[in-house]
Structure formats: C-alpha cells, structure tokens
Amino acid sequence: MDVYFPDDEYQTLCIFDDEPVTPETINALIVDGLEALDLADKDVLNLIQFRDAAEVEVVSELLLGTLKPAPAIILVCVRSHFTPQGKERPVDWQVETLARRGLLTEAEAKGLGVFYRNIYPNRDIANSLRVAVSIPDGYLPMSCLFLGKSNQNEAGLQRRLETKFKRNSGGADWWSAGL
C-alpha cells in the first residue's frame, strides 16, 4: 500500500487547547522528524522554535492575521543564495519539503495538532519575519509549523489519518512529490 503525504490536509487550521507544548516534546519531535535526513541536508536547515507567547503572537499575526495563535511554532529556514539577478533563492527546496513532512508526521504521531503555512516565495512575509524575529543571516524562512494540543475529537483525527491512504494520483501532492 502506498502512503502519500497530503500537505494540503495539514494546511487546514487546527483549534488548539491553551495547554503549552513542552520543550522536551518539541525537541523529541525535531530529532525524530529529521531522522531520515542526511547530515549534509541537516547542515542546510535551520529550525527556529517559538514558545514565548509574545514571539508566537508576532509570528502568528504575520502569517495568520487575527486568528488565535498556537502554543508553539517551528519556523523552517533553509540556507539561501542570491542569483545574478539579485533574487534570493533557497539552496535546496527538497530539504525543506522532506523536513516539513517529517515534522508534520511526527507531530501527529505524538498526538499534537499541527498545521503549516508556506512563507517562501512571498518575499514580503519573509522580510517581515526577518524584522520581527531573529533569523540568522544567510537563511531564508520557507514554512512555519503551528503546534499544540488539538481539541479535535478522536473520530476527527482518525478521519484525517485515513485521508492519507486515499489520495488520488492527480492531486498536487502526487505531482509535487514527483511520483
């Protein structure tokens, strides 16, 4: 049986409880989620965690507007370079995709509610994030994962999991994964 990663399923907003996500949970999620990546791929990545309410609110406001922020955020950044035309580009798109999918899958496996928003190629949002939070020079913010304890019921979570096994071959994920 083939298992597909329906990224658009993770773009659906979750409703989170106010319960915080512990640093240990996030660190375990990152270690497990990036386990499949090569060491060279990990060198290209920079994951920035936000658990402080003020920082979470700033990032959430930039990416979600007035919606209630999640208890924790992981910002996925990739090393970047400039083209001869002066445009900033990621060194490797695939690394971000593999890291994001690994983190999304692990978050769900650990019982967390999770959804994400793409940042790149929207340069305005990327630049706003650089001003609002500390993103190291040479890294481009690519996507943002919002994490927390979901207050969805068990039936809703099971239905969401089952959609992973029922993807059609004409879907965007099928195409973007190169299958």
What pLDDT is recorded for position 176?
43
For each successive 10 residues of the chain (179 residues), what is the average pLDDT? 44 70 90 86 88 86 78 91 89 88 88 85 86 89 88 54 49 43
What pLDDT is recorded for position 152?
62
Q: Does the residue 158 lie in any domain? A: no
Q: Does the residue 159 lie in any domain? A: no
**In the chain, how many domains are there?**
1
What pLDDT is recorded for position 153?
52
Q: Does the residue 118 lie in any domain? A: yes
Domain span at residue 110 reads 7-152
The vertex-127 CA angle with 125 and 132, nearest 5°, equals: 90
Q: Does the residue 170 lie in any domain? A: no
Q: CB of 63 within 8 A of CB of 92? A: no
Q: CB of 173 within 8 A of CB of 5? A: yes
Q: Does the residue 160 lie in any domain? A: no
Q: CB of 45 within 8 A of CB of 145? A: no
φ/ψ of residue 32, rounded to 5:
-70, -40
- Sheet strands (E) in the chain: 45-50, 72-82, 88-90, 113-118, 139-148
CATH number at residue 125: 3.40.109.10
| Whole-model pTM over 0.85 | no
